[in-house]
Chain A
Amino acid sequence: MGKRIDVKDLNVFYGDFKAVEDVTMTIEPRSITAFIGPSGCGKSTFLRTLNRMHEVIPGGRVEGSVRLDDQDLYAPGVDAVGVRRTVGMVFQRPNPFPTMSIRDNVTAGLRLNGVKGKKLLEEKTEQSLRGANLWNEVKDRLGKPGAGLSGGQQQRLCIARAIAVEPQVLLMDEPCSALDPISTLAIEDLVTELKDRYTIVIVTHNMQQASRVSDKTAFFNLAATGKPGRLIEMNDTQKIFNNPEVSATEDYISGRFG
């Protein structure tokens, strides 16, 4: 499991507004890549193009290509719904389905896509919750509403829900920004474990988090408000944080701006 992502000359538009310009990058399979950069630099927008979630926003479209191993996500005939089954996503704010129990939340992706069988779903529930380091905390109350958990637990529930459909890639859009430090640590540990099986891309505003968990770091920036965001530099995390090639990267990381 875990696929390589090849992005080539990607431009992202919302209507007439160009949000992201000319991104070319390769994301290695079974690695963690962090996207950093100031607010509005297009890193979240770019992340969404990796599973075509930007199309949910009216007017969202791309030019260029995103390939998952050898498959072009934007080739004619490729269905966005199918892409999202392969490339899962975890959002900034934990968003478990409020009408569903913990168990039903985990298996939501499977059940809503027509997977049946009590035994299979039961197995998937345990497997995914174990995978998200949440099993021991919730195994006695799987029938309780998912919204009753703490914020950190809810976020791990969302991760369990995302990995239950067995994606190849897991996109995380600032998954810890609404969590306290302890929950953040739990998520970071989990992300590090998940790396063995999935290709992980994580957007974060927390520089320490990027340096703690990621193998590669990509720095995005924009020239001015209203201008499209660009990929400034992408390299090994060590290199980015210790000896970046572009001075803007160094300025951002050392806190001189942003």
Chain B
Amino acid sequence: MSTTNQGSSAAPAPAVDEALPDLDTGRSGGRALRNNAATVLVWLAFLIALIPLVWILWIVVSKGWHSVASMTWWQKDQSGALPPGFDTNIRGARHAIVGTVEIGLITSLIAIPIAVMTAIYLVEYGRSGGRTNARIARVVSFMVDILSGIPSIVAALFVFAVWVTTLQQQLVPICVALALTMLMIPVVTRSTEEMLKLVPNELREASYALGVPKWKTVVRVVLPTAISGIITGALLGLARVLGETAPWLFLTTYFQYLTYNPAASAGIASLPTLIYNQSGNISSPISADRVWGGALTLILLVLAINLLGRLIGRLTRVKR
């Protein structure tokens, strides 16, 4: 074969064969350098982001584990606790765990149905329901955005204003649930919305084409298809609001005895307010143990709800 096609006039040069040796197989020095620099940078950013997370976990676990490891922590409340400096027992956090879980459940009961139905409206009716619906959906969507930006203290203030100032009622622990509801609704609405959007339109059309009305299509076809993601999102939303502190401080009193009554006028304990209540005396070892024990318990609780959400999500996922 001729080396170039300049010399041979008629025979078509095997261009591919000729081109291969000239193929640029090596990396240019400058590009390799930039590639390495970027890799190092990305790793560095990742490690820096990891530092506070590991640090927090390390401190909370190392300072709190011996409180949490004892059974009394889970079984007893703080009844009998003496003023700091005079007390020698850590006692337990059961009252705070019960309060947090109970108010969390009430919050979920109110927030999840509202959030899921809002998301259904936005996705199923707002997107395909004509101009009026589209307009309303835009407004609702905007409101959800605003709601998700509301600080928890403002939500608490709002509940206080409605409950105490306008309705002239006495504050009860349920008020906390109402404030947390306002914080939970936007989170769950957004996650449910995303899950509903993932349901292929073809399934809705298949259902319509069988003569199934729209509402039944939503309830029997769309929701079952998306339920796994909706549950996961709802539990993540719950985990997100359980650590809120401002509504507890504002709307209820820290009560150091175990109570299951969400309407108790004496107030109710929670893990955040247990921590807050004890943090004033953190220089005393007993209070410090309670603070770090409470913090670790809260982290464990949120972690447990997270894992539960993922587990339920996996179990209810559509199988192939």
Partner of A95 from the list B130, B134, B202, B216 (CB cut-off 8 Å) is B202
Stretch among B206-214, B291-299, B300-308 lining the A interface: B206-214
B216 adjacent to A112 (CB under 8 Å):
yes
B320 within 8 A of A: yes
The complex places the Cα of A98 from the Cα of B222 at a distance, in Å, of: 10
Known contacts A56-B205, A91-B202, A95-B206; A113 and B130 CB within 8 A of each other? no
A85 adjacent to B206 (CB under 8 Å):
no
Partner of A81 from the list B200, B213, B224 (CB cut-off 8 Å) is B213
Of residues 50 to 69 in A, which have CB atoms within 8 Å of B's CB atoms? 51, 53, 56-59
A97 adjacent to B203 (CB under 8 Å):
yes
Known contacts A58-B130, A99-B224, A112-B220; A85 and B211 CB within 8 A of each other? yes
The complex places the Cα of A3 from the Cα of B304 at a distance, in Å, of: 60
A202 within 8 A of B: no
A98 adjacent to B318 (CB under 8 Å):
yes
Known contacts A95-B200, A99-B318, A148-B320; A89 and B209 CB within 8 A of each other? yes
Of residues 198 to 250 in B, which have CB atoms within 8 Å of A's CB atoms? 200, 202-213, 216-217, 220-221, 224-225
**Per DSSP, are chain B's interface residues mostly helix, strand or loop, or mixed?**
helix
B128 within 8 A of A: yes
**Shortest Cβ distance from B206 into A: residue:** A95
B31 within 8 A of A: no
Of residues 27 to 77 in B, which have CB atoms within 8 Å of A's CB atoms? none
Of residues 150 to 166 in A, which have CB atoms within 8 Å of B's CB atoms? 158, 161-162, 165
A108 within 8 A of B: yes
The complex places the Cα of A93 from the Cα of B205 at a distance, in Å, of: 11
The complex places the Cα of A158 from the Cα of B220 at a distance, in Å, of: 17
**Shortest Cβ distance from B212 into A: residue:** A112
B210 adjacent to A97 (CB under 8 Å):
no
A58 adjacent to B128 (CB under 8 Å):
yes
The complex places the Cα of A91 from the Cα of B320 at a distance, in Å, of: 21
A147 within 8 A of B: yes
Write the nearest CB–CB distance from B217 to chain A, whole angstroms. 8
B210 adjacent to A85 (CB under 8 Å):
yes
A53 adjacent to B205 (CB under 8 Å):
yes
B residues less than 8 Å from A228 (CB atoms):
none
A145 adjacent to B319 (CB under 8 Å):
yes
Known contacts A56-B128, A145-B319, A147-B320; A108 and B207 CB within 8 A of each other? yes
Write the nearest CB–CB distance from A75 to chain B, whole angstroms. 17
The complex places the Cα of A70 from the Cα of B206 at a distance, in Å, of: 27
Write the nearest CB–CB distance from B299 to chain A, whole angstroms. 35
B210 adjacent to A165 (CB under 8 Å):
yes
B212 adjacent to A97 (CB under 8 Å):
no
Write the nearest CB–CB distance from A70 to chain B, whole angstroms. 20
**Shortest Cβ distance from A161 into B: residue:** B210
Of residues 67 to 107 in A, which have CB atoms within 8 Å of B's CB atoms? 81-86, 88-89, 91, 93, 95-99
Partner of B212 from the list A95, A99, A113, A162 (CB cut-off 8 Å) is A113
A residues less than 8 Å from B134 (CB atoms):
58
The complex places the Cα of A96 from the Cα of B202 at a distance, in Å, of: 9
A40 within 8 A of B: no
Write the nearest CB–CB distance from B55 to chain A, whole angstroms. 44
The complex places the Cα of A162 from the Cα of B206 at a distance, in Å, of: 9
Of residues 278 to 320 in B, which have CB atoms within 8 Å of A's CB atoms? 318-320
B residues less than 8 Å from A244 (CB atoms):
none
B residues less than 8 Å from A158 (CB atoms):
206
A38 within 8 A of B: no
A131 within 8 A of B: no
B residues less than 8 Å from A97 (CB atoms):
203, 206-207, 221, 225
Write the nearest CB–CB distance from B134 to chain A, whole angstroms. 8
A84 adjacent to B210 (CB under 8 Å):
yes
Write the nearest CB–CB distance from B230 to chain A, whole angstroms. 13
Write the nearest CB–CB distance from B274 to chain A, whole angstroms. 43
**Shortest Cβ distance from A144 into B: residue:** B319
B residues less than 8 Å from A58 (CB atoms):
127-130, 134
The complex places the Cα of A97 from the Cα of B218 at a distance, in Å, of: 13
The complex places the Cα of A95 from the Cα of B213 at a distance, in Å, of: 18
B residues less than 8 Å from A89 (CB atoms):
205, 209
The complex places the Cα of A165 from the Cα of B200 at a distance, in Å, of: 23
B225 adjacent to A98 (CB under 8 Å):
yes
**Shortest Cβ distance from A92 into B: residue:** B202
Partner of A56 from the list B200, B208, B320 (CB cut-off 8 Å) is B208
Of residues 98 to 156 in B, which have CB atoms within 8 Å of A's CB atoms? 127-130, 134
A112 adjacent to B208 (CB under 8 Å):
no
Ordered by A's residue number, 16 sampled pairs between the chains whose C-beta atoms are within 8 Å are A53-B208, A56-B128, A56-B205, A58-B130, A59-B130, A81-B211, A81-B213, A85-B211, A95-B203, A97-B225, A98-B203, A112-B210, A112-B216, A112-B217, A113-B210, A147-B318
A57-B128, A109-B210 known; 15 new pairs, CB 8 Å cut-off, are A53-B205, A56-B204, A56-B205, A58-B127, A58-B128, A84-B208, A85-B211, A86-B211, A95-B203, A97-B225, A98-B203, A108-B207, A112-B212, A112-B221, A165-B211
Residues in chain A within 8 A of chain B (CB atoms): 51, 53, 56-59, 81-86, 88-89, 91, 93, 95-99, 108-109, 112-113, 145, 147-148, 158, 161-162, 165
Query: What 9 pairs between A and B have smallest CB-CB spacing?
Result: A85-B211, A109-B210, A89-B209, A95-B202, A84-B211, A99-B224, A112-B212, A98-B318, A95-B206
